[in-house]
Chains A and B, each alone.
Chain A
């Protein structure tokens, strides 16, 4: 009993804060989703499931869902692959030296370079890439293209490219963190395993797929969930980078931008809360599914 009191004492404050600032707004969002609240009064009327009916009949909502699905597949896949590759190069690919596995030459420098985007605020990244993607010859990429005699590309104004341009920025920003995460995971793998494989004649590629990846699986799984949840966000980048905050023609819109527009531009707080509820269930479903699907026997070493 005393032990319980001890634990409860520590938990009380964080749980209280969590309930007040996370759980109760969530509960309230569920409640507001059933009303016609306009955001400037204390009074509201219950309208049942009207907001949800409107949501499911709305083309923009489905467009946002489609964009989330693209994000959900492409963003974690690209980020995790790149991060694994870089982490492997930085930690293991240099071979064994003095009893430890080392990275390729200059890996200390690359580590810093990869991590740099992570410390930039998203808004800064947005403004930065606005200059990179600028659609005339003053843009960083288009400046080069124009010099090479090519037509400038509308990275963010062409509806076929816009979402991919934004995904590229997300990947660029996220990779550094996962390089560090996977590096830590790789450092924990005993070097004997690598040495044994090396003696048996395994090349770098074989070692990666047969040893590094399986032993790193737990970390990759965690990374995948984080990135999946990030794929349900995307608000800041879309808002700063895309035209019409989610355009052209809704090609880059995400649920969060729709929530923002409906709540703060159109004062449809009820409808915006309904979108929020949808987002809540999407994220929850994704996390549960990922845990289920990627569950494997833990390898003990």
Chain B
């Protein structure tokens, strides 16, 4: 008798049960710890104990900044110091897809530029012990400033941002300034001045409306996080950096705090009165092109913006940064405050074959040639202080540098829940679109975000992070 479909299905079911589960690619979590490569002897010239002949593998996210800088600057420097060592350079746009199987198999690269849309989740890497402790790097002598430790040559916040569970594990290489961007030439031509208060902001909105320009727009389709950032930084302006620290710490009532509600309500009002709902369906590039066409006055973004839009920028446009206007008269931070943050994550694999070489590679990235060359090549400032004198920078970066000077100590801190609790951040993006489009009220926004934050807090499968500054 020929087998019926039923028999085949039953057979398959039995086969599935019979498959020894342990034989699959996944085993129970008592896997032996990966090999820890032994260090060579340390010396003054070799404080990290690099084995001069050992191979080094570097994975670079080849996005807006390309990967040429790594080959020409940092790998070249490593090769000069350790000519016997073979360097394997890997450029990819899919860091996660390419590396995830290698982390599972235990064949990991030494240095990883964990950026881009498919970056690996750092939290789970830490949980599995994959990220090397960067303390030796931060304590090592700097190659940029003789006599100083690496840690002491960096901008404020760079070290704090490297910490995961209190241990430095990820180096954020570049500095970016985030606030509102506008066309300085347009303002000059129209005789407008940059608004400092919410009343002035509204008044300018009326003026712009007459000229057929939307006062403000953000890309709702791809990049609503630009506006989520903007909401959070505005809230910090009202209530101080504590607002952001509470949010990051998943503190009770962090999202329902009055500064958050005020900031969200203020921006929802601007969108309602002077915005254009078409932008909810545009991506960041489309929105940025419209900004360049002077259809939008203010755009919330970071100082990489000019680099990104260099090809499309007409001569009539000059990027300049403006702080978010003061929302209340009793804001905790002055008008000049802007957000200064770090990005472009690099880490060294703890279970790689050459972790010492990886640390040394990062030290070379933070050297004078490494960091200054990077700024020259990609027009991004690095976290190493005081290396950019005499460099040709974009007007956006120059404007940001001036704004940084004006802000002085009044800088808005970065929100770390973006990487700590990506789920909360993604949920925040959908809620931002909702509240800006008027589908929910600012109060509902705060309540929904708080509910999600509380859920994550109660979820034991997610490792929690805390920060005090």
Contact = CB atoms under 8 A, between A and B. Distances in A.
B429 A244 contact: yes
Interface stretch (A78-86, A180-188, A263-271): A263-271
A44 B96 CA distance: 19
Interface string A131-150: 00111100000000000000
Nearest to B124: A38
Interface stretch (A29-37, A118-126, A209-217): A29-37
Interface string A31-50: 11001111111111111000
A40 B439 contact: no
A154 interface: yes
A46 B28 CA distance: 8
B121 A38 contact: yes
A67 to B, nearest CB: 15
B103 A41 contact: yes
Contact of A44 (B28, B97, B279, B437): B28
Contacts of A157: 220-221, 277, 280-281, 437
A289 B394 CA distance: 63
A81 to B, nearest CB: 29
Contact of B25 (A28, A45, A133): A28
Contacts of B45: none
Contact of A248 (B12, B125, B422, B434): B434
A176 interface: no
Nearest to B103: A40
A68 B246 CA distance: 38
Contacts of B31: 41-43
Interface in A14-67: 23-24, 26-28, 30-32, 35-47
Contacts of B282: 134-136
A244 B433 contact: yes
Contacts of A47: 461
A207 to B, nearest CB: 36
Contact of A243 (B26, B105, B221, B286): B221
A248 B423 contact: no
Interface in B239-287: 276-282, 286
A248 B433 contact: yes
A47 to B, nearest CB: 8
B19 interface: yes
- Greatest chain B CB density within 10 A among A24, A26, A37, A40 is at A40
Contact of A247 (B19, B124, B127, B433): B433
B26 A36 contact: no
B29 A30 contact: no
Size band of the interface chain A makes with B: 35 or more
- Greatest chain B CB density within 10 A among A35, A42, A44 is at A42
Nearest to A151: B277
A76 interface: no
A209 to B, nearest CB: 32
A93 interface: no
B220 A43 contact: no
Contact of A27 (B19, B104, B279, B422): B19
A191 interface: no
A224 to B, nearest CB: 19
B123 interface: yes
Contacts of A37: 26
B29 A45 contact: yes
A43 B106 CA distance: 12
Interface in B179-205: none
Nearest to A261: B426
Nearest to B430: A244
Interface string B57-99: 0000000000000000000000000000000000000001100
B121 A266 contact: yes
B422 A266 contact: yes
B30 A43 contact: yes
A238 to B, nearest CB: 13
A94 B127 CA distance: 69
Contacts of A221: none
A267 B28 contact: no
Contact of A31 (B24, B277, B281, B430): B24
A152 interface: yes
Contacts of B430: 244, 247-250
B211 interface: no
A90 interface: no
Interface in A236-262: 243-244, 247-250, 261
Interface string B158-176: 0000000000000000000
Given A154-B278, A248-B433, A40 B220 contact: no
Contacts of B41: none
B128 interface: yes
A32 B16 CA distance: 14
A42 B437 contact: no
B433 A44 contact: no
A159 interface: yes
Contacts of B353: none
Nearest to A135: B281
Interface in B389-443: 422-423, 426, 429-430, 433-434, 437, 439
A40 B280 contact: no
Nearest to A247: B430
A39 B97 CA distance: 11
A135 B280 contact: yes
Contacts of A174: none
Contact of B29 (A44, A243, A248, A265): A44
Nearest to A31: B21
Contacts of A267: 121, 123-124
Listed from nearest, the 9 A-B pairs whose CB atoms lie closest are: A43-B29, A135-B281, A38-B124, A136-B278, A267-B121, A41-B128, A157-B281, A157-B280, A43-B31
30 contacts: A23-B15, A26-B16, A27-B16, A27-B19, A28-B25, A39-B124, A40-B120, A40-B124, A40-B128, A41-B104, A42-B25, A42-B27, A42-B31, A44-B29, A133-B281, A135-B277, A154-B277, A154-B281, A157-B280, A159-B439, A243-B220, A243-B221, A244-B224, A244-B426, A244-B429, A244-B433, A249-B439, A264-B96, A264-B118, A267-B124
Interface of A: 23-24, 26-28, 30-32, 35-47, 133-136, 152, 154-157, 159, 243-244, 247-250, 261, 264-268
Given A24-B24, A40-B121, A135-B282, 15 more contacts: A23-B12, A28-B24, A38-B127, A40-B103, A41-B103, A43-B28, A154-B277, A156-B221, A156-B281, A159-B439, A243-B280, A248-B434, A264-B118, A265-B422, A268-B461
Interface of B: 12, 15-16, 19, 21, 24-31, 96-97, 100, 103-106, 118, 120-121, 123-125, 127-128, 130, 220-222, 224, 276-282, 286, 422-423, 426, 429-430, 433-434, 437, 439, 461
